[in-house]
Structure 1
């Protein structure tokens, strides 16, 4: 018998997960709930399941786990309800629009000892493993992370109290890999260019300087005013080697020249497969990021956002 899962959130990201999960032979997508019931019913019909009238009705379908795919501001009570129900869950990034909610959920998960996973699908890129190999044994001197793009269409994204802002909601992917490839960050200082668009308080651009635990330094920059996605990735510099990584490509530069490669697998499928495998009793798959690990990335994102908005030096919480 397969793993029975429920899905909360029928927006674009929820729909992507629903299609992936319904395509696994060992998974039964037992139902979908969304605060907008019509959206849940439409998606449910597409993937061959049914909508639930509310969260309790969904949880009553004998589930083994739940996928939580809601906007940042909607996190918190949902996850705490799942913890009380003893249900493992997958939650999309970021963990919340602020830090206190993320801390509260992570503490509840840790106390309950529940298996969890999060939507940091970049960790499942096989190019990340190649990048780590290229950097192994070398001292990182500098890291540069960028997320330069456009303003996403959902109205909630343009409000920092709803989305967390571009650093927390989008650049979290590259900040997560910064931690993987360059190590932990101690403190951040930065600045922001305020929004020039009516109805949006998310800054047009941010720039921050990082001091890493290792003694290395780094920069992070974001912008949401471009007509299309332009740059999303990071570069790590060591003595004699640099690594440039995006979601679609890896370049390793050494004294012998450049070596370019591309991922050979689909990370958005792999991130769901990894949690299903864990729920099926298999060892923790490489790349799986649970809530505790995601909290460390969320703390870094929150520190970067605070430093750029306030112009002060912010220590990254541990």
Structure 2
């Protein structure tokens, strides 16, 4: 049987998903929709799919088994609602929205429909993340340091607060998600941020937060988009007799035996797509971030971003 996939959005992330999906035996990318017709046509040609100018046309014309939603943060909401109404399994790229209300309402609709979903927190599929979790099982983390020091992506919506929700919501959300996996839930915190004349758009170009976890661990999370290129992106953890530095590409372990570097063996992008296709087919059950679980991370990211804008308490 052929599994027919539709994609909404034809940007960089959608292209990465297309490369994986077209490599899976028995999967057909049937159609791709994007309001920029030129982008839709280019990516559709790459996938051997039909191009659509609007997601409604894609849903009306194509017979789909699942839908990948790869739109900018501000564009979430309507397309997911339409997919829920059709009972279409949904893979949604993070962040879930620019705000909390849109995502919370969608989570309720998805739960009511009993719909199969996954969200693109692809770090959860890192084999190095699993190794970090195993190492921390005997020595829980006491300190967490998350950093996302990078440049601003060159897309027009990213530097607008109403387009992306800001860097904390759009990028640093990965750091919060990893921290939740490895350390647990956040109890309370404080955050602040600012923007400079040299910063892009109207978003905060520097932000830092101090958080306390239910376990008693404490964490510091900082992000900036002022650099000319990616500089330092990852999560550092300190536990009794153990230090870990996790990035998307490797894990550095410091313990009594010295320091060792473990490179990842798994492409997390490929792993998350293959896992969701398997779930859609009823052949697997390795969806690690369904929508309701992703909402917990999104809620934390939005709370930190809101506190940073106000210079105050992180309210969860």
TM-score by length of 1: 0.96
Contact residue 182 and residue 236 of structure 1 kept, 8 A: no
Aligned pair in 2 of structure 1 residues 161, 195: CA closer, same or farther (>3 Å)? farther
| Structure 2 gaps, min length 5 | none
Contact residue 117 and residue 290 of structure 1 kept, 8 A: yes
Residues 96-107 of structure 1: pairs in structure 2 closer than 5 A: 96-107=97-108
Residue in structure 2 matched with residue 18 of structure 1 by the alignment: 18
Residues 46-125 of structure 1: pairs in structure 2 closer than 5 A: 46-59=46-59, 60-125=61-126
Aligned pair in 2 of structure 1 residues 75, 34: CA closer, same or farther (>3 Å)? same
How large is the Cα RMSD of the aligned pairs?
A: 1.3
Number of residue pairs matched?
Answer: 315
Residue in structure 2 matched with residue 251 of structure 1 by the alignment: 252
Residues 90-169 of structure 1: pairs in structure 2 closer than 5 A: 90-169=91-170
The Cα of 1:315 is off from its aligned counterpart by 2.3
The Cα of 1:52 is off from its aligned counterpart by 2.5
Residues 120-269 of structure 1: pairs in structure 2 closer than 5 A: 120-197=121-198, 200-269=201-270
SS in 2 for 1:80: helix
Residue in structure 1 matched with residue 302 of structure 2 by the alignment: 302
The 1-side partners of 2:191 and 2:69 are apart by 32
The Cα of 1:302 is off from its aligned counterpart by 0.7
The Cα of 1:256 is off from its aligned counterpart by 2.3
Contact residue 275 and residue 284 of structure 2 kept, 8 A: no
The 2-side partners of 1:238 and 1:156 are apart by 39
Moved more, 31-40 or 46-55: 46-55
The 1-side partners of 2:239 and 2:273 are apart by 33
Contact residue 160 and residue 203 of structure 2 kept, 8 A: yes
The 2-side partners of 1:151 and 1:55 are apart by 28
Contact residue 199 and residue 226 of structure 2 kept, 8 A: no
The 1-side partners of 2:53 and 2:164 are apart by 26
The 2-side partners of 1:112 and 1:57 are apart by 23
The 2-side partners of 1:104 and 1:93 are apart by 16
The Cα of 1:198 is off from its aligned counterpart by 6.8
The Cα of 1:54 is off from its aligned counterpart by 3.0
Aligned pair in 2 of structure 1 residues 146, 87: CA closer, same or farther (>3 Å)? same
TM-score by length of 2: 0.96
Residue in structure 1 matched with residue 36 of structure 2 by the alignment: 36
Residue in structure 2 matched with residue 312 of structure 1 by the alignment: 312
The 1-side partners of 2:154 and 2:46 are apart by 23
SS in 2 for 1:131: helix
**1:254-310 per-position Cα deviation (integer Å, ceiling 9, x unaligned):** 12212210101211111111100111112321x621111110110110111112111
Contact residue 186 and residue 315 of structure 1 kept, 8 A: no
The Cα of 1:197 is off from its aligned counterpart by 3.4
The Cα of 1:139 is off from its aligned counterpart by 3.0
**1:194-238 per-position Cα deviation (integer Å, ceiling 9, x unaligned):** 232376111121111001111111100001001110011011111
The 2-side partners of 1:26 and 1:302 are apart by 38
| Structure 1 gaps, min length 5 | none
SS in 2 for 1:183: coil
Contact residue 102 and residue 295 of structure 1 kept, 8 A: yes
Runs of 4+ in 1 over 6 A off after TM superposition: none
SS in 1 for 2:18: helix
